[in-house]
Amino acid sequence: MPRSLLNLSPRLRPLLFCAYLATQLGLLVRAQSSPDLVFGFQMFNASSQLKISLFRKLRRRGKVRVVPVHDGAWQAKDRAGAFHTHRWQDRVRYRNLATLEQFVHAAYGLDAQLFRLQFALNDFVSHLANDQETEALIAEVDTLKNGREAGHVRLEAARP
């Protein structure tokens, strides 16, 4: 008869059984309050779409200006005055968030993608060492929930 470390003794079997079930049920319940429904087994939950437009918040001569980012790329000076190109898609490769200025499917729903977009903005501004001009990155998001307009959302991430 094959021997395996995974042949549990009769005493351990109920432990594994109950611990597994409790964990799964706990994760399922917790998933309901998670924006991206992670561990919730909620497939095909929406036909929603979002369109992301990026803007940079700059401070020039003491004035704050918000300028649009075209195609996700811009040039900015570093401390030494040398220009560097920054590209949103170089860092954010996740397909739902990498596409700008056009409506794309919001996998797992709008809440999921907006939640992840905030993470993406935070991540991007924390990697702007060669950009001494950008103070914050702003995403203006148009949303469609299952075909209906679901409003406009503004997310912002300031440099740490």
Partner 1 sequence: MSAFGAAWRRFFGEERDALVLGLLRLALSALLFFNGLRLVLELMRDGYFADYFHVPLIPEQWLPDRSGYQLLLFVQALAALLAFVGIWPRESLLAASGLGLYFLLCDRLQYHNNRYALLLLGSLLAFTPCDRSFLLAYGRGHTLPLEQRIAPTYARRLFQIQVTLVYLGSTGGKLLDADWRSGQVLFHRFAEAPGIAASHGFPLPAWVLVILTSTWFASLAAKAAIASELFIALGIWFSRTRRLALWLGVIFHVSIELGANVELFSWLMVASYLAFVVPEVRERRFEFASGNPRAQGLARAVALLDWCARFERSSFSATGNERSWFYVTNRAGRRASGALGLAQLAEAIPLLFPLWLPLALYAQLTRERRARVPSSA
Question: Residue numbers of the site for partner 1 (CB under 8 A)?
Answer: 1-2, 4-8, 10, 13-14, 16-17, 20-21, 24, 28, 31, 36-47, 90-94, 97, 116, 119-120, 123-124, 145-147
Q: Within the chain, how many helices (H) and strands (E) appear?
A: 4, 7
In angstroms, what is the minimal distance from the CB of 78 to partner 1? 21
Measured from the CB atom, the residue of 74 and 96 that comes closer to partner 1 is 96
Q: Are 57 and 66 in contact (CB under 8 A)?
A: yes
Measured from the CB atom, the residue of 10 and 81 that comes closer to partner 1 is 10
Which residues does 30 contact at the CB level (< 8 Å), separation at least 6?
39
CA dihedral over 108, 114, 116, 120, signed as positive or negative: positive
Measured from the CB atom, the residue of 79 and 149 that comes closer to partner 1 is 149
Please choose, from the candidates 88, 82, 84, the residue with its C-alpha nearest in 3D space to the C-alpha of residue 101: 88
Q: Are 159 and 122 in contact (CB under 8 A)?
A: no
In angstroms, what is the minimal distance from the CB of 2 to partner 1? 5
In angstroms, what is the minimal distance from the CB of 73 to partner 1? 15
In angstroms, what is the minimal distance from the CB of 152 to partner 1? 20
φ, ψ at 50 (rounded to 5°)? -145, 150
Measured from the CB atom, the residue of 42 and 132 that comes closer to partner 1 is 42
